[in-house]
Every structure is written in structure tokens, then in C-alpha cells.
Structure 1
Amino acid sequence: MYDPTNGGKPPSRLEQLGYQQQLARRLKMWEVVGLAMADVSPTMAVLFLTAGVFLVGGTFAIGANLILAVIVVLIALCLAELASMYPIAGGMYSLVRQVLPAPFSWATTFNYLIQGIVIPASIALGIVGFLKDLFPALTAPAPVIAVVLLALAVAIALTKVEVGAWATAIMVVVELIVLAIITAAALSHPRQSLADITFNPTMLSDGQLVSVGAVVMLATLAPAFNVINGYDAALGFAEEIKGGERALPRAVIISAIMACVLIVIPLVAAVVAAPDLKAFFTAPAPVVYSVEQSLGSNARVIVDVGAVIALFNAMLSLLMYFGRVAYTTGRDQLWPKTVNRSLSRLNRFHSPAAGILILAVPAAVLVFTSALDFLIIFAGAVIAAVYFCIGLAALMSRISQARETRPYRMPLWPLPPLVVIAFTGLALAMQEVKYLVAEGVLVLIALACWLGSKRWSGAPESAHEPQLDAESA
């Protein structure tokens, strides 16, 4: 609990919310932005995550990502205002918990934490393919190599937060160099008209290029939603950033804008450089096809190196980020007492070790299963559901918590939350039925745990009552 005799210093916003400062404030804003950029992984987003968007919407992928860039900035504005009020390491889980009723909080928690298991597992397996392409002599089974890579990322994540921040920063710089090479190579060999592919988008249908209609454009928005994502990772370091609730909103907004720029520009360049749109659309990774056409035989090495670094960087950042979310759920007394006690402890490096391991262990198991492909695509529905709740929280916060202190106030309110709610609702509606069913099952499990928590946990129902610190958990 917060002790008002704090050496004469005024209480921080975190302490006003009933939390103790346990994580050490060691990170500068640029380090937090670097961690968020590692989570965004612009190299992977451009080279591989865009493939599904091109498959569905053809060259409207450009328009879809431009629209998405606007939505991302609006989401960032919502996150920035809420984070300035609630600078807690739980990220979007904490923001929803402080504003919306408990059922929304629990649904957000489960949607949020499942990403911290599924995505690192998929990333670890993804790295193996590129490593084997670089080093053909590497013949060990893919799941075994994936677990070794996951363990290496965990080892870094368990050390001081500065170590992880510097490691990710170095790898982000390498990523940016790779992206710059790709973009420069593409722009040096333009083969398509930028105006034509942007304002008269085409797609491949029955082997022929046809114009993209309105229905297809709407369908393209759902897969595009997964491309510019991860900038919210800045929130996970809310209790470790120097400057607290005043620096955090800037970190979130800068991360979102950088993500948009670093993904959209290379994406556009790759489409402009495509010598044959039919071959471009049918390629397993369309952007890689353009790079190979521009750079020739050297492209493979550049792509492989960029992909390995980008993927490992994203895995490390994700484990650090979601480990802190898990730590916060334990500190908030969500689970049975034994679980809460373990999750809310920090190791000697002031790292939430149990929070990281509770995600990494099931992720390691998951690499040996056959359900991973389904879960990766399902992650898109999960992301949309979380952002939908953020839009609701940003809207309701101004209505139900009008008197709360807001170190940062989003411009254009209520437009940002209303657009976010509408867009994420549309993205959810465009998901396939099986993924919506899976989302419904996940929500039901979350609600069942919420009901169970009334018995196993002594946590207060109100988000505004003081939370127990780790020592009293």
C-alpha cells in the first residue's frame, strides 16, 4: 500500500493509484520506443505479413495500409490519454481494467495474454526456416532449434531491462538498414505507376488482373489490421520509463507514427518495383519477389539476415512486454493466491521472471503442436478485440471519469475512440466464422474465470480501490 510519508515528495500517479514503485525507472524514452519498434518488427511486417493483404485485395493493400495508418494514429491517441492517467505496466489490460466493468477487463486479459504465448511460438518457428536457408548444414529438427532460440530470448529478457533495451535497439538499427536497402533497391527500379496502383487498384482473379471492388476493399481491411501492430508495447514499460506519465504518451505516439512510416513506405516501393503484377500476386511473399527482381541473387541473403534479426528482436520484445503484463495481473490479485505471489515477484535484476516464464513455457510446448497455424490467424481477431475495448475505454473514460487528472488529452475527442470502435468492430465482423467462434469461446473462459475469481481472490471489484503490493500478496 502507498505510504503518504514519502520523504516529503508528492506521490506519483502510480502511487496515487495504490501501486508501489517496484520496477526500476531506468529507461529513457528512446529506449522504450526502440523496444516498441522491435515488437512492431517493420522488416517482418513488410516482407511477410503483407502477403495476406495482397492475396485478398491486390494493390489495394496500399490503400488499406494508408487507411490503417490513420486508424493506428487514432488508436495511439486513445492509448496515450489512458496511459497518462494509468501509467501501469499491464499495458492495455490495465487501461481497460481501470475504466470498463470487470467482464470487459477479464475478456481483454485473456485476449491479451494469449498473444504473449502464440506469437513468440510462431516467431521462434519462423526464424528456423531463415536460419536453415542461411546455413544449410543446420539439420536439427525445427521445433528443437525454435526452443533453443526461445530460451535465448528468455535469458536476455530475465536480465536488467537496459540489457534487453540495448539488444533490441541494436537489432532495430540493423532492421532499418535492411529496410533502407530494400526500399532504395525498389525505388531504383520503378516499373509501375504509383498513381495508377493506388487510385486504380487491381487484383488477380482466375489468372486475370481485375479492378478491386468495394466488397473486396472492405475484406482487405481485416488482414491489413495485423500489419501495423505492436506499437502499444511502449505501455508495458510504463513503470520503467523516466518521466512517467508525461513521457509515456509521447513514447506511444512516436512509436505508432514510426511504425506507420517504416512499414508503408517500403510497402509502396515494393509494389512500384514489381515488374509483373501477376507474378507479384502469386508469389508466396510478394515483397520478397520484388526485392529479388531488383537485387538479383544477393536478395536472398539480405532477406534471410533481415528476417532472422527482425523475428528474434520481436520475440525478445514480446516476452519482455507480456511478461510485465502477467506480472501486473498477479499484482492485481487476479488469480489464486499462490499464482499471484509468484507473478508479482521480481528477480534480482528487477525483472518479472515468473511473468516471462509463464508465457515462455507454454510457447515452447506450442512449437511442437499442429494447432499453431490456426492460432496465428486467430491472433488477428484477438488484436481487434483488444483494440475494440480500448476504443470503448477511451470513450467511457471522458464520460464516467470526467474529473480524473489527464496529463495528456487527445485532440479531436470523441472522433478517435468512435473511429477506433467502428473500425475494429468491422475488422472483427470480417473475420471467418471459425475465428469468431474461437473468440467467443475465449471470452466465455474469461468470464468463467472472472466468476471464479470472486472465490479464489480477495481483489477489490472496483478498479479505483488500492491494489495490494507484491509483499502483501
Structure 2
Amino acid sequence: MATLRRRLKFVGTLLITLSAISPASSVFIIAPGAIGTAGSGAFWSFLLAGIVGLFMAFVYAELASAYPLAGGEYAIIARVLGRLPGFVALGLMLVTQLLIISVIALGVGTYLSVLVPGLPGQPVAAVVCLAAATVAVFDIRLNAWVTGVFLAIELLALGVVSWLGLAHPARPFTELLAHPVTGNGSVPASVGVIAVAMAVAIFAYNGYGSAVYFGEETRDAPRGIARAILWALGITVLAELIPVTAVLLGSPDLGSLFGAGNMMSYFLTARGGGALDTAVSLAVALAIINAVLAIVLISARMVFSTARDAAWPARVNRGLSRIHPRFGTPWIATILTGAASAIPCFLPPTVLLVVTGTSIVVVYAGLCLAAIVGRRNGSTAHAAYRMPWFPVAPVLALAALGYVLWQNALDTAIGRPSLLVTVGIGVVAAAYYLGVLRRRGSWTLRGPTD
């Protein structure tokens, strides 16, 4: 059986995981959506989302400690909740992971256009996907250092944003705490809009659980992966909450910030000038490229795991499970991942958002159920990490995820269609498992110790 090589230490796993989250991309691309909804109440949205993230990190850490496998979420759910739920999770993650690479890559052209106006975004995104797959074929330790260098650049950019706002605040911090506003800067932000924006903030923090995909390449994985997940969440919350707070404190006029077409560009130009805005935009472009590389690394390992588990025809399984003799990486799975993510770059962005919108929420709910069931049936009893205050974390996380799904159901533009697409993907995955894999008895869950 093909096996991956344990070449990563804790720091390497953490660097790749943080790069997949890409705090700079979240602050510059996702956070403005929360600010546009809740205004300065976005501070509370990001703070509360950090608490929900902590609950989910506890869930991820315990489950990943029990099953540090390259298959990630589907491999865990299948072993705890059963094969049918596991294969449905596989279908959702397979589609979501590949399309998320395309969604992120499409942001490269936007920020590189400060140097090359009129740069065609879709071809650039496709090239970035293919280039990232090429680099991802090389040794995992090399990729850890490459992502680490790029990560340092994006954290530096976030440090600049934080300094500009916190060193020269235009309003007191108590105003954010007690009197959040939205609209033109004078309308009080309600609890409802803060809660709606919290769903956006939860998505901005997403990715800390990606460390599990490197469980078969990390030394002392049961402990190392759990630590990487918890550290990744902590660093992410600080790296995003602080600059978001700085922008809300330091913007000369909140009404102008809320109404700006590019909120972060408005803030940087107002506080640091156009040259600084250009420099930070280039750093964000590098952060996006880095995120594409990291997510290709993650997705390729999931594709490799599906082949090792014999999810596809025999010839396909043999190809996708091959390990490069020199670099020790799943090279065919990696190349296929890059090619498969380059094609959707030419689809309308709205289509990509609809397909990827709610799948991860459903998978998160599956993990919460797995954490509860795993304690009851003993399937996670061997975990090296045990979450505190059980079952508080999975229960509260389930409540928050249920609220997010309810809000999506009310949104007729993207949320509701996304839910329908998620159901459709789940039905197709279930039909394939029941009609093909279970009938043949060919889906065999494998790991490095099997």
C-alpha cells in the first residue's frame, strides 16, 4: 500500500495550515462583507465568531488526534458515524475543496491589476492553479518553507494595517463596544445584523482544521495535529480580529468606509497614501497565491486518500495513489487537483459561490455529531487529545451552524440555491456509494497502519 513520508514537524504543519487560511485574504476579501452588513458591529461579529471557532477547534483537535489521516473529514466521519455518512462527506468535500481553489485564485488578478491594469482575471487564476500544483509536487518540507515565507509577507501587511489604525485612532475603543453603528455611520447596529455578519466571520476564520490532512506526514501526529489546529485558530483570530478592529477605529469617516467600493483600499489610502495601498495590494496577491498552493497540497492528499480507499475504478485508483519516488508526494493526485481547479476559474463567480456556500457547514455539523457519538461508542477513546468541557463545544457549535443554515435558507439569492446544490451533491454521493461501492464491497478504509 502506498504511504506518505513523515517529513513534517509541528511548525511545518502549522505554516501550511495558516497559509491555507490566509488571514490577509480573509481581512481584505471576506471581512469587508461583514463590515458592509454590520458596520462597526463587525468587531463583535469577529469576536463571537472566534468563540464559535474555538468550539469547532476543540472538535477538530479531538477527532484529528484519534484519526490523523490524509482523507481529513470524510475519513473521520466514515470511521465514527458510518460509511454512508462518510461518503456523503467525501462528495461534499471533494467538490468544495476543488472549487474553493478556483474561488481564491480569482482574487489574484484583482490585486495584481494595480501593476497591470486590465489583467484578465480568469486566465491568470487558471495559471496560478496549474503553477501551484507544479510546486506542490515537490517535497512537503520545501512547500512548508515556501508557504512560510509567503505567510510572513502577508502577516507583515496585516501588521501595517493594524499599526495605521491603532496608532492613530479616530474614535475610542469603547465606541465599538457600546455603540456600534452601520449605514451612513449613524444608524445603530442591531443584534440581528451582528449575528448575520458573524456567519461571514466564521467563514473568514475557516481552515484551522486543515492540519488533519497532513496527519500522515507529521511526526507524532496524534499530538502534533491537535496542537497545530489549536495554534492555527489562535493565531488566525489575532491576525484577523486586530486589523479589522484597527480599520474600524482608524478610518477617518465610518460612513465613507462603509460606502467604499474597496474598503481596505479606502482605509490604506486615507491613512498611508496611494503608494502604501499599492504595496499592500501586492502583498495580498502573494497571500492569495500562497493560499492556492496550500489548499492544493491539502486537496491532493484527500484525492490520494480516496484512491487508496478504492473509491474509483481500479485503474484510476492505481494512478491517484502513486507516490513520487524522490519527493514522497502524491504527484498524480496533485497534478489532477491543479488541473481540475483551473477549469472552474472560467465559470461565473456566482456559480462557484452557490456550489461551495453551505457544503462546509454541513460537514462541520457531521464532525460535531462524530465528536459526540465517538465519545459514546468509544471509537475516539484512543485520541491523544480530549477536549475540555465536553459536550459543550460540539453542542454549541451545532446550534451556531444550525443558525447559519437557517439564515442561508432565508437568502433566496445565494443561500437557498446553495443549500439545494448541497443536498443534490449529497444525494449523488449517496447513490454512488449505495449503487456501486456497497454492492461491490470495494470501499475499504485504509490508513498508514492498516
| 1:16 paired residue number | none
1:181 CA displacement:
1.1
| 1:11 paired residue number | none
| 2:138 paired residue number | 159
Change (3 A) 1:124 1:338: same
| 2:421 paired residue number | 438
1:369 CA displacement:
2.1
After TM superposition, the structure 1 = structure 2 runs for residues 1-400 of structure 1, keeping only pairs within 5 Å, are: 22-136=3-117, 141-204=120-183, 207=184, 209-348=186-325, 349-370=327-348, 372-376=349-353, 378-400=355-377
Given that 1:336 and 1:453 are in contact with CA atoms closer than 8 Å, whether structure 2 keeps it comes out as no
Look up the SS of the partner of 1:105 in the other structure.
helix
Change (3 A) 1:468 1:23: closer
Q: Which moved more, 1:165-174 or 1:279-288?
A: 279-288
Segments of structure 1 that go 5 or more residues without pairing to the other structure are 1-19
Amino acid at match of 1:301: T
Quote the Cα distance in structure 2 between the aligned partners of 1:468 and 1:69. 32
Quote the Cα distance in structure 1 between the aligned partners of 2:158 and 2:249. 15
1:373 CA displacement:
2.5
Change (3 A) 1:416 1:333: same
Amino acid at match of 2:381: E
TM-score by length of 2: 0.93
Amino acid at match of 2:30: L
For residue 431 of structure 2, the aligned residue among 445, 448, 452 is: 448
Quote the Cα distance in structure 2 between the aligned partners of 1:235 and 1:353. 19
Given that 1:43 and 1:310 are in contact with CA atoms closer than 8 Å, whether structure 2 keeps it comes out as yes
Given that 1:323 and 1:355 are in contact with CA atoms closer than 8 Å, whether structure 2 keeps it comes out as yes
TM-score by length of 1: 0.88
Given that 2:109 and 2:120 are in contact with CA atoms closer than 8 Å, whether structure 1 keeps it comes out as no
Quote the Cα distance in structure 2 between the aligned partners of 1:319 and 1:250. 22
1:259 CA displacement:
0.9
Given that 2:50 and 2:202 are in contact with CA atoms closer than 8 Å, whether structure 1 keeps it comes out as no
- Percent identity for Structure 1 against Structure 2: 27
Change (3 A) 1:231 1:469: closer
Segments of structure 2 that go 5 or more residues without pairing to the other structure are 409-414
1:377 CA displacement:
5.2
Quote the Cα distance in structure 2 between the aligned partners of 1:323 and 1:280. 39
Given that 1:334 and 1:457 are in contact with CA atoms closer than 8 Å, whether structure 2 keeps it comes out as no
1:443 CA displacement:
1.4
| 2:442 paired residue number | 458
1:415 CA displacement:
0.5
Change (3 A) 1:427 1:72: same
Quote the Cα distance in structure 1 between the aligned partners of 2:448 and 2:164. 53
Question: How far does the alpha carbon of each residue in 1:309-359 deviate from its partner, in whole angstroms, 9 at most, with x for none?
Answer: 110000000000111011111111222222222222212221112322332
Q: Which moved more, 1:152-161 or 1:331-340?
A: 331-340
Given that 1:271 and 1:287 are in contact with CA atoms closer than 8 Å, whether structure 2 keeps it comes out as no
Look up the SS of the partner of 2:186 in the other structure.
strand
Look up the SS of the partner of 1:59 in the other structure.
helix
Quote the Cα distance in structure 2 between the aligned partners of 1:208 and 1:377. 31
Question: How far does the alpha carbon of each residue in 1:369-413 deviate from its partner, in whole angstroms, 9 at most, with x for none?
Answer: 22x323235433122112111111111110111683121111111
Change (3 A) 1:97 1:285: farther
Change (3 A) 1:68 1:438: same
Quote the Cα distance in structure 2 between the aligned partners of 1:109 and 1:71. 24
Amino acid at match of 1:184: W
1:469 CA displacement:
7.9
Question: How far does the alpha carbon of each residue in 1:208-237 deviate from its partner, in whole angstroms, 9 at most, with x for none?
Answer: 732222332332222222111111221111
Question: How far does the alpha carbon of each residue in 1:252-282 deviate from its partner, in whole angstroms, 9 at most, with x for none?
Answer: 1111111111111111111101111111111
Change (3 A) 1:157 1:37: same
RMSD of aligned residue pairs (Cα, Å): 2.1
Amino acid at match of 1:373: T
| 1:5 paired residue number | none
1:285 CA displacement:
3.1
Q: How many residues are treated as equivalent by the alignment? A: 442
Amino acid at match of 2:173: L
Quote the Cα distance in structure 2 between the aligned partners of 1:141 and 1:103. 42
Change (3 A) 1:455 1:60: same
Amino acid at match of 2:156: I
Quote the Cα distance in structure 2 between the aligned partners of 1:268 and 1:62. 6
Given that 2:101 and 2:292 are in contact with CA atoms closer than 8 Å, whether structure 1 keeps it comes out as yes
